[in-house]
Amino acid sequence: MNKTLVTSFNVDENFDQAVKAANELYFNGGVFIYPTDTIYGFGGNPFNDEVLRKITRIKGKPNWRRYIHLVGSVEILMKYVEIKSEKFYDFLIAIWPNPVSVVLNLNQQTRDILGSETGAFRIPNNRFCLRLLNEIKMPLISTSVNRSGKEPMNDPVMITQEFGKEVDAVFYSNKKSFFEASTVIDLSGEEPKLIREGKIKFTDIVKNFK
């Protein structure tokens, strides 16, 4: 990409314009950086192979495809996964929206597209993300803004300096955040299993699994 100046949007000051721009980028094969309920993420359409190639190239993780996917509702999620029972469904309703990512079994169609048996999903507790997700009505890639092996970046100025020539837009917020990654749990088996503890404690999450 030969751009010298990336398009940037303050989502607090230009909310509707930012959502519209991100929506268009998503469906046109763009890659963008955006704030979530945890840390800043690279975003794009997970069903677009060129988008996946762009993100893996930027991050320096060749052939890596297993990114967390944000969705706007459990109803949208159900188009892509297989839920074992009503108990599992109720559990997801109880814990979301929150910075908790859950590994679930994909349905056959999604397995064929993504080349994986499972996928990680989250309904984020973030106004910009939820508005965008409920407009696109599809999953959105969310992966930390960093080069492979480096710490995630959360300062919009530094992010733009580092990645501005490699993405199509940077969406940012001036609001304070804890900047802590999501807790990741595996729900592809019979019981929730902790993969990574983040902003919300695993013991607090599993209280909802009844």
- Supply angle C-alpha 120, 93, 24, rounded to 5: 55
Quote the percentage of the chain above a pLDDT of 90.
83
Question: What confidence category does residue 177 fall into, taking pLDDT thresholds of 50, 70 and 90?
Answer: low
Identity of the amino acid at 107: N
Answer yes or no: are the C-beta atoms of 138 and 25 closer than 8 Å.
Answer: no
Considering only CA atoms, give the Rg of the chain.
Answer: 16
Q: At residue 176, does pLDDT exceed 80?
A: no
Query: pLDDT tens, 104-115?
Result: 999 999 999 888
Mean pLDDT over 168-172 rounds to 96
**Alpha carbon distances (Å) from 83 to 46, 90, 189:** 21, 10, 10
Q: Using N-to-C axis directions, what is the helix angle for 15-27 and 127-136, rounded to 10°? A: 40
Please spell the DSSP secondary structure of 43-84, one letter per residue.
E--TT-HHHHHHHHHHHT-TT----EEE-S-HHHHTTTEE--
What integer pLDDT is reported at residue 61 of this predicted model? 78
Query: pLDDT tens, 39-97?
Result: 999 999 999 999 999 999 999 976 666 799 999 999 999 999 999 889 999 999 999 99
What integer pLDDT is reported at residue 66 of this predicted model? 79
Domains, in order of start, for the chain: 7-206 (3.90.870.10)
Q: At residue 1, does pLDDT exceed 50?
A: no
End-to-end distance of the chain based on CA atoms, in angstroms?
A: 50
Q: At residue 175, does pLDDT exceed 90?
A: no
Element (H, E) at 112: helix 108-114
